[in-house]
């Protein structure tokens, strides 16, 4: 396949329509790829014939940690913790879902680079998170080489705070510090998505975009693109659970960083130290096949150096210090 834009995920590429026929996709993969390209998300049945048993074991294992009484339908389920990050470290079923080979292979085909899971989140109830793009937490250079896979661990009702999304919002600009006019490096924040909330809300208004909700069946999954706006709807019935697992994936040969604490044009990046869940090996930050070293803040004068020879070469040089 001749792809003049290898630094753009295949399903996000403007060249996707001409590249897709040569990818050797099955009919189902083709459907998922075109849904992602058009809408920024795609729904599929999770490819694991053990999924029912895994879900049951995970719920039993995690419920006490969330203070959820699985056997009392009338109890308020929203009083305890609402999420556990990286339960894959102690729960083999959470790990198996994150490292599912079918998903890894599929993502590799859709993005054109090998994928790896690096974080899990397990939720017993709705998150009620405002609309956000995961690029605010997990950016990459080149951009968009990140996605989330959300798995329904029960049938989800409209009153349980279902996942919502803004179809097509992955094509809107990636809101970054330069656009919103703030510096990030060395900043302290409660949430990495706070600085971008007003801009996302304004974009949603400007586009007149209506949210869709994912009233999922148990065992269904939804893949979202890095820049798709999504969140958790209001949970109106606190007696309900909304068991779900999100696994976040990155792709090989990228720089992985958090924009809220970075100033990209100055080469000051809050780099991530990632471990891939599937093989528990480190995935160093890479730029065009070479490792990138972590660097100290470069200047306190506020003056940026002038890029020579193109921003990408300049950034690579700065990062390799
Ligand atoms: O499950 C939800 O309500 C949203 C989760 C989410 O946004 C995420 O994990 O990135
Ligand atoms: Fe998210």
- Taking alpha carbons only, the member of 135, 158, 130 closest to residue 148 is 135
CB atoms within 10 A of CB 64: 11
Model pLDDT, residue 295: 59
Strand (E) or helix (H) holding 17? helix 16-19
pLDDT tens digits for 205-232?
Answer: 999 999 999 999 999 999 999 999 999 9
pLDDT value at 14 more than 70: yes
Ligand 1 contact via 127 beta carbon (within 6 Å) = yes
- Considering every ligand atom, which ligand is closest to the CA of 242? 1
- Look up residue 99 and give its two tokens: 């490292």
pLDDT tens digits for 225-253?
Answer: 999 999 999 999 999 999 999 999 999 99
Strand, helix or coil for residue 170 = helix
CB 315 within 8 A of CB 288: no
Ligand 1 contact via 121 beta carbon (within 6 Å) = yes
Out of 87, 123, 127, 146, give the residue to mutate to test ligand 1, the one with the largest number of ligand atoms within 8 Å of its CB. 127
Number of the ligand 1 atom closest to the C-alpha atom of 230: 7
pLDDT band at 305 (very low <50, low <70, confident <90, very high): very low
Considering the domain 10-319 in this protein, what is its CATH number?
2.60.120.620
Rounded (10°) angle between helices 101-111 and 27-39: 60
Out of 94, 150, 233, give the residue to mutate to test ligand 1, the one with the largest number of ligand atoms within 8 Å of its CB. 150
Distance CA 240, CA 160 (A): 6
pLDDT value at 300 more than 90: no
Compute CA 163 distance to the chain's CA centroid, rounded to the nearest angstrom. Answer: 14
pLDDT band at 187 (very low <50, low <70, confident <90, very high): confident
pLDDT tens digits for 60-88?
Answer: 999 999 999 989 999 999 998 899 999 99
Sign for the CA dihedral angle at 259, 262, 268, 270 comes to negative
Supply the residue whose CA is at minimum distance from atom 5 of ligand 1.
Answer: 231
Model pLDDT, residue 309: 42
Q: What mean pLDDT comes out for the span 170-187?
A: 95
Distance 233 CA to ligand 1 centre (A): 10
pLDDT value at 95 more than 90: yes
Number of the ligand 1 atom closest to the C-alpha atom of 224: 10
pLDDT band at 302 (very low <50, low <70, confident <90, very high): very low
pLDDT band at 273 (very low <50, low <70, confident <90, very high): very high
Residue of higher predicted confidence among 165 and 320: 165
Supply the residue whose CA is at minimum distance from atom 9 of ligand 1.
Answer: 246
Protein residues placing their CB within 5 Å of the ion ligand 2: 134
- Considering every ligand atom, which ligand is closest to the CA of 232? 1
Residues near 253 by beta carbon (within 8 Å), at least 6 away in sequence = 113, 286, 288, 289
pLDDT tens digits for 139-153?
Answer: 999 999 999 999 999
Supply the residue whose CA is at minimum distance from atom 6 of ligand 1.
Answer: 231
Model pLDDT, residue 318: 44
Distance 246 CA to ligand 1 centre (A): 7
Model pLDDT, residue 188: 86
Distance CA 12, CA 38 (A): 9
Model pLDDT, residue 179: 96
Give the DSSP letter string of 73-133: TTS-SSSS---EE-GGGT-HHHHHHHT-HHHHHHHHHHHSS-EEEEEEEEESS---PPSB-
Distance CA 167, CA 165 (A): 6
- Average pLDDT of every residue of the chain: 92
pLDDT value at 319 more than 90: no
pLDDT band at 190 (very low <50, low <70, confident <90, very high): confident
Ligand 1 contact via 148 beta carbon (within 6 Å) = yes
Distance 124 CA to ligand 1 centre (A): 12
pLDDT value at 321 more than 70: no
pLDDT band at 1 (very low <50, low <70, confident <90, very high): confident
State percent of the chain over pLDDT 70.
91
pLDDT value at 54 more than 50: yes
Supply the residue whose CA is at minimum distance from atom 8 of ligand 1.
Answer: 246
Ligand 1 contact via 175 beta carbon (within 6 Å) = no
Q: What is the pTM of this model?
A: 0.91
pLDDT band at 298 (very low <50, low <70, confident <90, very high): very low
DSSP letter at 287 equals E
């Amino acid at each position: 396949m001749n792809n003049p834009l290898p630094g753009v995920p295949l399903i996000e590429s403007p060249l996707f329509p001409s590249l897709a026929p040569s990818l050797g996709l099955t009919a189902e993969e083709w459907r998922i790829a075109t849904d992602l390209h058009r809408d920024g998300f795609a729904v599929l049945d999770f490819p694991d014939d053990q999924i029912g048993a895994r879900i049951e074991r995970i719920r039993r294992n995690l419920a006490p940690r969330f203070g959820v009484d699985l056997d009392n339908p009338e109890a308020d389920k929203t009083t305890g913790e609402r999420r556990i990050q990286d339960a894959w470290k102690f729960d083999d079923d959470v790990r198996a879902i994150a490292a599912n080979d079918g998903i890894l292979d599929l993502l590799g085909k859709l993005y054109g680079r090998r994928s790896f899971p690096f974080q899990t989140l397990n939720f017993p109830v709705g998150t009620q998170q405002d609309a956000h793009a995961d690029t605010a937490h997990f950016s990459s250079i080149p951009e968009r080489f990140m996605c989330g896979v959300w798995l329904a661990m029960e049938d989800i009702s409209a009153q349980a705070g279902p996942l919502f999304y803004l179809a097509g919002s992955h094509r809107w600009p990636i809101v970054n510090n330069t656009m919103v006019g703030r510096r990030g490096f060395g900043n302290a924040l409660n949430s990495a998505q706070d600085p971008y909330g007003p801009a996302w809300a304004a974009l949603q208004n400007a586009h007149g975009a209506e949210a869709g909700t994912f009233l999922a069946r148990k065992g269904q999954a939804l893949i979202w693109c890095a820049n798709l706006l999504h969140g958790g709807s209001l949970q109106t019935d606190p007696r309900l659970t909304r068991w779900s697992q999100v696994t976040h994936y990155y792709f090989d040969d990228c720089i992985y960083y958090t924009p809220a604490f970075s100033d990209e044009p100055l080469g000051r990046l809050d780099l991530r130290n990632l471990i891939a869940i599937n093989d528990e090996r480190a995935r160093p930050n890479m730029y065009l096949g070479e490792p990138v070293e972590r660097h100290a803040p470069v200047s306190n004068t506020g003056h940026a150096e002038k890029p020579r020879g193109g921003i990408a070469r300049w950034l690579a040089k700065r990062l390799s210090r």
